[in-house]
Amino acid sequence: MMTCQQLTTAIASDKLSTLGWRQRLTVKLHLLVCKHCRCYQRQIAAIGESVRSRSCEAPTPCRDLEASLLQKCRDCPPQTDCAD
């Protein structure tokens, strides 16, 4: 089974789409049992969606902002106080 740290690193680096079928299955199983990682995945998706929705207004600064936010997410350890 994949650890929380491994999964959050993969989520933050946007590498889930490049995983093989066995790794994707491991990710899905982990997300089924770990509410904290599910929460983290939703938070990252919400941040990305928020940034992308604003990118139509100002493409270049928003791309820089998205990259900056994703880097900060990669650098931060996962939090465990997320409500589900």
**H or E element at residue 73:** helix 59-75
Q: Are 39 and 68 in contact (CB under 8 A)?
A: no
Tokens of 80: 């465990």
User: Which pTM was predicted?
Assistant: 0.61
Q: Which tens digit of pLDDT belongs to each residue from 8-59?
A: 888 888 888 888 899 989 999 999 999 999 999 999 988 888 877 776 655 5
The tally of CA atoms less than 13 A away on the side-chain side of residue 11 is 29
